Structure 1
Amino acid sequence: MKRREIRAALERDGHSVSFSEELIFDKKYDVPANLQERIQLSETDVVVCLASDFGPIQEAQEFALQAREFLIWLSEQARGKYTDLGLGRQLRSQGKAPLFFSGEDLASCVVAAASSEWVEQRRMQYLVADLERERLDERWPRRSNP
């Protein structure tokens, strides 16, 4: 339910959103699911992970550090525990600190609204960086190697 709310919020902002299970290309799983999801990462700009049970936490442990942009939502109960102290610490060092949700957050629109805002902030950072790169290229064109 909450995943669908996050999806709807991002789609309202004009983003194309897919759940990883929708992108599985080998439904018989001759190609392991984790390998299929690793391939998906190469085609994905942003991953939002609501780590509300074992499956998403395992996916986060495996893929978070490989994703271009990764937002993980952890339960307040995970604060200071294994996933927070391990993966959370690594993500913080990359400027991708986990966000924490409470039961009340799941009952409201907080998680969807904050996810949408986080994605928009990342999009704006890339937009500004691209504009700055264009300005630099105009001012100091890159030389091609002979």
Structure 2
Amino acid sequence: MKVCLDTNVFIAIKNKEEDFGFCTKILDAIEEKHIEGSVSTIVLTEVLVGFYMKNENTEADRFLNSAILNFDVIPVNIDITKKAAQIRAQYRIKLPDAMITASSINSNSDYFITFNKTMLKKLEIQVLSPIEFVKNHL
């Protein structure tokens, strides 16, 4: 099984937000190779911004190295660019969200895991919250 993670999964862990434990379980399952994980370079960029804004450069490097080791990192390419433009035009979502969603679809993941499910209901990939994924698949 392959999952693609949204930015808010990583941010929930970083900030120890409510329900971050579900996100941690997903990352643990990926690191232990029980499931495959993929992540867009856009997600990595968004998470790194949070580290750099707080001058947490060592933590930023640790996060990036871990992502490279444990995830299929999806770079932006022409196919993703085109798909993102179509998603943005149809659903009127922000460009970074459209890019991340297009990356998720093109990654051939079984699930896109995000806390922001409402805007992504009608897409070509099954969208689950971290809570739903953990309860149903881990």
Q: TM-score, normalised by structure 1?
A: 0.34
Q: Which has the higher contact order (CA 8 A, sep 6+)?
A: 2
Q: What TM-score, normalized to structure 2?
A: 0.36
